[in-house]
Amino acid sequence: MERIERHASFGGWQDVYQHQSDILKCAMNFSIYLPPHAKDEKLPVIYWLSGLTCNEQNFITKAGAQKYASENKVIIVAPDTSPRGDNIADDAAYDLGQGAGFYLNATQAPWSEHYQMYDYIVHELRALIDENFPSKRVQSIMGHSAGGHGALVIGLSNPDIYQSISAFSPIVAPSQVPWGQKAFKAYLGDDQLLWRRYDAVELIKSGAARKPILVDQGSADSFLEEQLKPELLSDACCEMNYPVTLNMREGYDHSYYFIASFIEAHIQFHSAELNR
């Protein structure tokens, strides 16, 4: 593991590391913000999953999260969104292949050799953070768009690992929208039962363990009606009596201007749960 960037920020350090992933079979970057802390102090961790076309840089340069991570004394880890490299399967479209791993374990060629982002996030990256940084070994997860999908699915599927879940503009029902259907068919084939394992609405309908969920969605989001459909999440939670906070934010779009406007509330939400 090699540190490739370091920036002082709000009394702590915004770092970027590169390591060789055994699960993804390629070099991977991740960013990590370390707030100011005592020498032997252990801190809770929040994982951030970014959306389509993003990498480990988008969140740390645009969200303005470091100030609030410093104030709440939480580590924030933001990995890349997919395996990358000349020998890694890719697609010309922005919503498939490199930059669009969708946080699942692919079963179909040519994707299955490298596209195992679910296992990378849940197992390999988490172990790397816990072993090499001042982690308290308690964590929550959040994300944006396709990363919001990833945060919901990973959090709901691993309630023993993640204390709370939040998302900005998430793809809540990928089985029912074009982005998700395209990715699922390519990565997972035609097995609809397998699709459900990576669909937050289906997981809630199947009786997922209850964890606190916070979702923010902009009313002026250009992807709202076709790709995001937050009402499907709201309906599923209502049907299953699953507690969720869904905030519709008037006038906000899909951008990091939206995320930066409400990231403080998300960090405070997770910090409260992580420190219970």
Domain at 66, CATH number: 3.40.50.1820
> How many structural domains is the chain composed of?
1
- Residue 47: predicted pLDDT: 98
Domain that holds residue 104: 2-274
Describe the strand order of the beta sheet including 12-21 as a list of residue ranges: 2-9, 12-21, 26-34, 75-79, 43-49, 135-144, 162-168, 213-218, 245-249
- Residue 203: predicted pLDDT: 97
Which of 150, 145, 126, 146 has the alpha carbon at shortest distance from 44? 126
Side chain identity, residue 239: E
DSSP secondary structure code for residue 14 in this structure: E
- Residue 21: predicted pLDDT: 98
- Residue 273: predicted pLDDT: 97
- Residue 110: predicted pLDDT: 98
Catalytic residues, by residue number, are 145, 221, 254
- Residue 140: predicted pLDDT: 98
Stretches where the chain sits below pLDDT 70 are none
The pairing of beta strand 135-144 with beta strand 162-168: parallel
- Give the distance from CA 79 to its chain's centroid: 9
- Residue 238: predicted pLDDT: 95
